[in-house]
Structure 1
Amino acid sequence: MNSFVILCLDDEPSIVERLRQDLSPFSDLFDIVEADSIDDANDTLAFIEQQGQQAAMVICDNDLGADNGVDFLVQLDNHPVTKRARTVLLNDKPQIDVIMQAVNEGRLNYCLTKPWQREELHRVLIKELTTYVIKHPDEDWLKYSQLLDHRRILKAHIDRQMSSFRSGFIRHGDQLDDTTLASQVTDALHSFFQGNDEHKACRTYSEGHVLTHEGEANSFLWFITRGEVALYKKDEDGFKHEVVRVGSGNLIGGMSFVTDEASFSTGITLCQTDVIKLDRQLFTKVMNSQSELLPLFTNLLLRNFNRRLQGSIKTEMRLQQTLKSLDEAYQELIDKEKMAMLGQLVAGVAHELNNPVSAILRGSDTLKETICKLTDSQLNHDNQTQGNVILQRAMQSRPLSTSEARQRAKQLEATLGDRQTARKAVLMGLDDTDSIERWLLPQKHQLKTVVDEWEHYYQMGNFLRSINVCAHRIADLVKSLKSYARQDDENTHDVDLHEGLEDTLVIFENRLKRHHVTKEYAELPHIRCQPIALQQVWTNLIANALDAVIEPGEIRITTQFTPNSHQQSIDILVEDNGKGIPQAQQEKVFELNYTTKREGNFGLGIGLSVCQQIIHQHNGTIRIESEPETFTRMIVTLPVHQNYSSVQAAPDKAASYKSRSSQTDQDKTEPDQIRHSHKEML
């Protein structure tokens, strides 16, 4: 049986049952009783009085059939067990007149509308029951601290304890300032030990004397009367840090002395320091012999604890603010690094876009003229049909290099007898045996005119192909640039890492085409990651490789995965044949603000630091292998977190990227080749 009761009054059994369920967390410290009418409630209150209990809370429905719940609440002051009870009124819907009646009578603390929220009911009970409990000074408040508002209860408990120690000349000791209170304690202790200090409690320590050891048991309480003591704590790495300094009037070892726990910190004197050292036996002897000293000392001890608590709270708040600031600074750092890198890429991407755009414009102008010539063509039906074949072939085949075209034209010239006609026929793919015998030799007397007409078909197909290639080139550049520049998507996705690598390579195309790039892609499973964050890693690694090599350099990008290996992970290697990094510097490259960039190359010194943090967020690792003047290899290892059923899609992906890589090598020179071929035809 508990001291206090919560009474629930409602004529609906379902409401009463729900109240019982919602109030179950309070049943260990409060008895929960129910009534379905006012008469039943009065009988229950009479029984509570017989048991010597008090009603701490009354939860009452307003509509009780013929009765009014507010009337019952108003009458609570007339019953001895409900004089101080807190009240909650239940309503099916807000009724202002009913609520105002209860408020005016001073017997309503809170009003809840049905159906209520369990969390709201708990908040109301915690607040109101705390108010009720602390109005009963004879009750053990601390047993309610875990259930109710522990801060209010602890504060009330401390106030009550301090109040109980007030006596005689220290009746208003809580109004004394710290200096006066410490002086009174010092005088009282010196008075006790004067001529009676066989325990040598009053001592003087030199600088550097250790009073308490962090983590070790402590059986003494030191009261500083003169001098200064610093308290130190060790961090996870074992380094000692000073946390606070205290002077005369302060206590050392108070918490561990009172609680019998290990010392929280190490206390060391900073100068010659006078102390009064008390063990538990001596402390008890002093306090029992001087009753006026106990409230003084208790007041001083509580103030020390309070200052330590406030200091801890302030430190915690500063740490939280620091962590928030660091998080914001880290995000800002990533954004700055990305924008710095993006700034370097813009000029190259703009130049790279200019080539295909120029080719498209030039091709469209030529097509305008060529279409008109085709519509006025004087070729017969068969030659027009062959012209269409030449057009389709030109759209699908890659133009010949100058040296190859010259060699094949020289061979055909001997057959046709005209160098210019032979060169045009070679470019249009008409130098094979079948074409020579079927189309060229039978029309030898009018071959120059026919070839000139066919040239229009060839030019149209050639420029249509050029426009198509350049359009795809622009689309790839825009897609990659948009993917890199957009705000990071913090959601994780299942992706093929090759996609991010390829997009990054497209962005760097303007710089990469001056070097030899080798890509060796393995068959990879999809992994769950933040692809945009990882793309920033690839961007930094490739940019660093480009800065390290001298034209023409070699850059190799390799992906590795062994499905049956013990450690299911993917390796991404970016290697260059640049100047390398000395062993002494390899340990520093991941430090913030450290850069190995040569003079004239832009470097914030934050790229690899950001890369390392991103890789660590993916539970991966990044490491470096390098030999000066030989090579540098960056190795990123990422774990595979999902079932390997997704691997089946990877081979086609990898093959497509190899094909795409080969096609890109061909396409990037296309505009220049088209221009050259056009000149030769003219």
Structure 2
Amino acid sequence: MNNFAIVCLDDNPDIVELLNTSLTPFAGLFDVYNAYSISQANDVLTHIAEQGQRVALVICDNDLGCDNGVNFLVSLDQHPASRQARSILINDTPQLDAIMQAVNEGRLHYCLTKPWDPQELQQVLVKELTSFILKHTDEDWLRYSQVLDHRRILNAHIDHQMSRFRSGFIQDTHTLDDATLAKQVTDALYEFFAGNDENRACRSYSANHILTHEGASNNILWFITQGEVALYKKDEFGRRHEVVRAGPGHLVGGMSFISGEPSFSTGVTLCHTDVIKLDRKLFNKVMNSRTELLPLFTNLLLRNFNRRLKGSIQTELCLQQTLKSLDDAHHQLVEKEKMAMLGQLVAGVAHELNNPVSAILRGSDTLKQTIGTITETPLDPENQARGNTIMQQAMLSRPLSTAENRQRAKNLTNVIGDRHLARKIVQMGIDDPEILQNWLLPQKHQLPTLLNEWENYYQMGNFLRSINVCAQRIADLVKSLKSYARQDDETIHCVDIHEGLEDTLVIFENKLKRHRLIKDYHPLPPLHCQPIALQQVWTNLISNALDAVDEPGEIRVTTRLSEPDAQGKQAIEVIVADNGKGIPPAQQAKIFELNFTTKREGNFGLGIGLSVCQQIIHQHNGTITVESEPGQFTQMIVTLPLDDAQ
């Protein structure tokens, strides 16, 4: 029998059965009771109280024939076993009056409408049961962490333990005088090392033995049990002055041991002195083995520091002034950092918008010339209509890989007899056998003139498509900025990866024309993803590749399906490669770190692109890796797993 119970109340046995099924994951920690009327529910509550249990959650239907479920929820406070119970009200349709009544009575924590979403119910169950359990500090919360909200329970457990520690720290040590506190610590240490002091922690020194050196690093904490130690400090002229003496119960080297800073002073024994010497490893071993020593040691250390501060009023004043100066400097740095980040954001947005805006302006200028050429075309009406068809196809054209382009042009050359014309025909997408038979071959003698005129239609459609893509890119950027400000999740879509890649390549068309672009696309199934987020990945990878190569360089974009893994699942791989300067091995492990950039001087680089790319890829359960050889090539490999539905 468990300590807590869950009560399900509904006059429909099928609904109760559904609730029981949803409660199966919680059945190991909560006993589940069913009732089909309010009278049965009251009997169940009485039985639970007699068993010594408490009700954690009540799930109640509002419409119980002649009875009202809200009234039952309001009456829960009258039963000792259910006064702290959480409650969920189920409605066939939203009934505002009933809901408001329960809310006003403080007896409604969540409301569900039939039919409910099983996932929503599971989330509500986890939330409400977690809230109930965390009100019971006498329970072992970690026992429930695997079934309920692990993070809330773990955080609450840590806060509870720290609260108990702080309470024990204040109550157990504040009444002890310095000598008693020091004796408790040293006695416990001597007891710990009795017969087990292979590290020789308990030592004796003669006079003039140096424990710490001013300005030197210190990894030792010294407990003085007998004798006396003087601490010396040098002035600006190198003269040594005694600043304080430490006797039994005092600590030497505490500040530098805790902070890791160089020793503030030089510690020298003045007579035969017994000490307990602890390095960091040994200190951790002692504190982990004797946790009750930690509050005692902390209090002892604070008292030593307090004595040091009281011993030098001038030092304290200087320290306060230094802390005030550091605080002012910190606020100044924070303000400067805010301004710097704002500048980076503005520069980044301007950089992202520059390419699509430039493409739109370039396309507009070209369209001015092309429109005039088309309106004055010497083509007959039939060929003009065919030109319009070519323009429409260009506006909706799908990308071809370089290899496929080359192969289709080669096959067409045997028919047309001119390789240059064949390449034009393939580029315009009119190498279909039917078009070839009806359009081209009957006019073979005037193909050069026809293709030159039709190319204007093709360019018109291509530029219109480019302008549309770039305008959509700007809209997507604005949408991304809005989403970033709202922290909303982007909608998942089923898309063709090639379309996003091709849209990104269009944006960089002005830069890409100065290089050799090779597209090696393989047939791929649609991918469920966040297309706007992935477009940001392609934009960063292609932009980085362009920055890495000298003119004329080579950019290769490859897509393919990975080999099936042990479970037979496959993934889409997108590879962006360049023949640029490469990345040294020492930097390859850092390129995904925030604010790290490999951009050459004069190139824009915030050092955030690949870090953001990695986050986006991880959100898609994928990976991004780098392969590079300095002076030869770099390729970024993005792997996106296909889900079961795909």
TM range (shorter): 0.3 to 0.5
Computing the radius of gyration from Cα coordinates, the structure with the larger value is 1
Query: TM-score, with normalisation over the residues of structure 2?
Result: 0.44
